[in-house]
Amino acid sequence: MRGLIVNRQCVCGNTWKMLVAAASGHTVVLVDQSDEILKKSTKGIEESLKRVIKKKFADKPEAGAEFIKKTLKNLTTSTDAASVVHSTDLVIEAIVENLEVKNKLFQTLDKFAPEHTIFASNTSSLQITKMANATTRQDRFGGLHFFNPVPMMKLVEVIKTPMTSQKTFESLVDFSKAVGKSPVSCKDTPGFIVNRLLVPYMMEAVRLFERGDASKEDIDVAMKLGAGYPMGPFELLDYVGLDTSKYIIDGWHSLEPNNPLFAPSPLLNKLVEEKKLGKKTGEGFYKYK
């Protein structure tokens, strides 16, 4: 299956979706808004591949070099999605978490993509149905929700809207397995499985801290040592990106304004306003070098 990943370079991960697809033998085009971003993405991919072969091919450097060569051969980049989509079987959209921007892109791609091409969004919180309805291919539209860091995290949530055909759903499940992931399925409901449970938990941690009940450091230690989580909620928020987290909670709050689990946080809003977005900007709840 040839895939077009409409995406970006980033430590937060979307580049890595492309990487796992290319490493598993798929032909992939990575699309982003500028050559500069794409250059950074390509560099990030090469560095990541070097790390992979150090572990995977420790005793066989020649096989490692061949793996990198083969993977990179599967990758190309473009800043013009419309001009490359004509030769793709699958589009995975992973751009900014904004319905209007996503719909505009899908509408353009819908005009140029072949009839059979499946569209999938990697959205963490938006309704897949609303994106599908912006196109003429509602039956060939679903969600493919990967988790960061994508090369390490085994899960993919495959989202089926009421219009997604069984054939499309099965193709998305097969694709997830072909890139080495373990798919689970969920209906098109806010946050699907993981974020529906995780985002209210992280927001509750922010509220605990905002009330002054505990320090963010202690909350992180408590959840790591007491609940066995690999990261505390503030470390995780910084990793995910505070802007992305805010988009999610604001969107859900507008859907269900009386649900206290979806209440916005003044502290999170303030940090986003100050452009302290977490690891990607060097500062969020914590500072990074």
Ligand X SMILES: NC(=O)c1ccc[n+]([C@@H]2O[C@H](COP(=O)([O-])OP(=O)(O)OC[C@H]3O[C@@H](n4cnc5c(N)ncnc54)[C@H](O)[C@@H]3O)[C@@H](O)[C@H]2O)c1
- Which position has the token pair 């892109």? 105
Query: Can residue 171 be called a binding residue for ligand X (CB under 6 A)?
Result: no
Length of the chain measured in residues: 289
Q: Does 105 bind ligand X (CB under 6 A)?
A: yes
CB 231 within 8 A of CB 104: no
| Closest separation in Å from C-beta 56 to ligand X | 24
Check whether the bond before 264 is cis (ω within 30° of 0).
no
Distance, in Å, from the CA atom of 19 to the CA atom of 162, rounded to the nearest integer, reads: 30
Residue 241 binds ligand X (CB under 6 A): yes
48 labelled binding-site residue: yes
* Distances 134 to 15, 37, 102, 161 between C-alpha atoms, Å: 25, 27, 9, 14
Rounded to a whole number of angstroms, the minimum distance from the CB of residue 82 to ligand X is: 10
Among 63, 65, 96, 197, binds ligand X (CB under 6 A): 96
Q: Across the beta sheet with 118-121, what order do the strands follow?
A: 75-78, 27-31, 2-6, 90-93, 118-121, 141-146, 155-160, 182-187
210 belongs to the catalytic site: no
For position 188 contacting ligand X by CB under 6 A, the verdict is no
Point out which span in 45-53, 64-72, 165-173, 238-246 binds ligand X (CB under 6 A).
238-246
State yes or no: residue 128 binds ligand X (CB under 6 A). no
**17 assigned to a ligand binding site:** no
Shortest Å, Cβ 66 to ligand X: 30
CB crowding 223-239: b at 16 or more within 10 Å, else e = beeeeeeeebbbbbbbb
Shortest CB 40 distance to ligand X, Å: 9
286: its two tokens: 């914590």
Contact 31, 106 (CB under 8 A): no
The verdict on whether 74 is a catalytic residue reads: no
> Which residue lies nearer to ligand X by CB, 32 or 110?
32
Known binding residue 254? Answer is: no
Selecting among 157, 171, 235, 245, the annotated active-site residue is 157
Active site includes 195? yes
Q: Could you list the residues that contact ligand X (CB under 6 A)?
A: 6, 8, 10, 12-14, 31-33, 37, 94-97, 101, 105, 122-124, 146, 148, 240-241, 244
Catalytic residue IDs: 124, 145, 157, 195
Q: What residues are designated binding site for CoA?
A: 48, 55, 124
